Amino acid sequence: MANYEEETASTKLAAFIEKNKKFFIAAIVIIICAVIGYIIAASVMNKATAKNLQALDEIVFELTDKSSDLEEAEVETRRQTAIEKASAYVKKGGITGARANMLCADLTYQQKKYSESAEYWKETAKKAKKSYLAPIAYFNLAACNEELGQTDEAAANYKLAADSKDFVMREHAMFSYARVMETKGDYTEASAVYTELNDKYSDSEWANLAKSRLIALKNDGKIQ
């Protein structure tokens, strides 16, 4: 009974988190913008880059300023305006292009335009290929893939995120990758990743969820 109750509670929590990907994506973008601001302040940049980043900061400010009491129609108008303004910077290289694409990716996801959001996340990953932003882009691209029913692509992108040992949400990425592989019927791979997650991050809530999935798979006869 205890195992069953643990499995049920953990599975419900996992379902809640996975159904609310937008919250996590939006939260990530906010955090990253703050981190980027810190890095930029501590480094030397040319005037053009500084000007472009200031312009993007202004776009974000116009988007969020006194927005808590706005009706959805007004929020949507702001989203669309922000996308149109940020689009002028998405083809630029470096941090400017990466940040512009991240902003557009998040906003189009909120609009449920998952194909567009996916393209923006792909561009973010390309422009930030060797930076800590890449696994974030892959993770959110995978979320878009899932919304579009692209299971193979989702698995591949979650794995790219999970393979980044410095990714701040690595445990979540590992769990999501295993969950998708389980959906695909690859129980051997799913159980291997669940086990690795449980072994390496035993204190993590994601490890607890992984343990619950291992219990469920064994109970269903999917694994030994």
Q: pLDDT exceeding 70 applies to what percent of the chain?
A: 80
Give the SS3 label for residue 178.
Answer: helix
* pLDDT tens sequence across 148-167: 999 999 999 999 999 998 89
More confident residue, 38 or 55: 55
Q: pTM here? A: 0.81
CB 7 within 8 A of CB 215: yes
- Distance, in Å, from the CA atom of 55 to the CA atom of 131, rounded to the nearest integer, reads 22
* pLDDT tens sequence across 114-140: 999 999 999 999 998 888 889 999 999
Q: Can you list the domains of the chain with their CATH numbers?
A: 2-219 (1.25.40.10)
> pLDDT band at residue 2, thresholds of 50, 70 and 90?
very low
All residues at 6 or more sequence positions from 91 whose CB lies less than 8 Å from its CB, including other chains: 97
Burial call 130-152: b when 16+ CB within 10 Å, e when fewer: eeebbbbbbbbbbbbbbbeebee
In the prediction, which pLDDT does 28 show?
53
> pLDDT band at residue 203, thresholds of 50, 70 and 90?
very high
- Distance, in Å, from the CA atom of 58 to the CA atom of 195, rounded to the nearest integer, reads 45
